[in-house]
């Protein structure tokens, strides 16, 4: 009994010439064991299940393995989410570096722009918030300072330092 039958309890097949090919239900995906596993290398429950199925099929010398459609689709969605998160992290780091360089060169408006762009990305990292709080505080841009502090509290939670800073804003 092959892996298809074990997974789905079916033995549907059709003859095509000299080959015997199994007709797959719509809720199943057939993948070669040499499938590009990079797609599922980001982890997640579904990706892990597919990798285990692939390894099992490889160990048995099978050329293909069968994955329930919901697991396959879940792994694709996990991979896309991870790649998007990775892209946002990379852009966040780039903008932090631009902001640092601009500050070092005295181009405060450019630094603020980079940090504001960074916050707009929505990646959960504190550097841009911290620098904007410092810069807006120095420039006495209290409306901007208050906005950034409140947004940081919303994302990262309250802290005594942030609450004290809010109290000082006139």
Phi, psi of 22 (to 5 degrees): -85, 135
For 32, the enclosing helix (H) or strand (E) is strand 28-32
Give the Cα separation of 74 and 81 in Å (integer): 11
Query: Residue 94's pLDDT is what?
Result: 98
pLDDT in tens, 122-153: 999 999 999 999 999 999 999 999 999 999 99
pLDDT in tens, 45-97: 888 888 888 889 989 999 999 999 999 999 888 888 888 999 999 999 999 99
More confident residue, 58 or 8: 58
Asked whether the predicted pLDDT for residue 20 surpasses 80, the reply is no
Q: Contact 95/114 with Cβ under 8 angstroms?
A: yes
Query: Residue 55's pLDDT is what?
Result: 87
Query: Residue 51's pLDDT is what?
Result: 84
- The answer for residues whose C-beta is within 8 angstroms of residue 105's C-beta and 6 or more apart is none
Token digits for 52?
């285990």
| End-to-end Cα spacing for the chain | 76
- Looking at the chain, the domain(s) classified CATH 1.25.40.10 span 86-168
Average confidence score pLDDT of the chain: 85
Token digits for 4?
């298809």
What's the CATH fold of domain 86-168? 1.25.40
Asked whether the predicted pLDDT for residue 11 surpasses 80, the reply is no
Give the Cα separation of 106 and 15 in Å (integer): 75
Q: Contact 108/135 with Cβ under 8 angstroms?
A: yes
């Amino acid at each position: 009994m092959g892996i298809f039958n074990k997974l789905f309890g079916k033995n549907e097949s059709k003859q095509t010439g000299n080959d015997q090919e199994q007709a797959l239900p719509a809720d199943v995906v057939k993948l070669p064991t040499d499938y590009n596993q990079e797609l599922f290398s980001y982890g997640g429950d579904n990706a892990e299940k597919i990798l285990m199925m692939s390894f099992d099929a490889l160990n048995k010398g099978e050329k293909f393995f069968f994955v329930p459609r919901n697991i396959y689709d879940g792994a694709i969605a996990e991979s896309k989410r991870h790649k998007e998160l990775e892209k946002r992290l990379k852009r966040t780091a780039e903008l932090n570096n631009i902001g640092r360089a601009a500050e070092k060169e005295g181009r405060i408006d450019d630094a603020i722009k980079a940090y504001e762009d960074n916050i707009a990305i929505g990646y959960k990292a504190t550097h841009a918030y911290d620098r904007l709080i410092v810069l807006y505080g120095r420039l006495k841009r209290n409306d901007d300072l208050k906005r950034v502090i409140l947004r940081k509290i919303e994302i990262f939670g309250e802290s005594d330092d942030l609450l004290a800073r809010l109290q000082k804003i006139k």
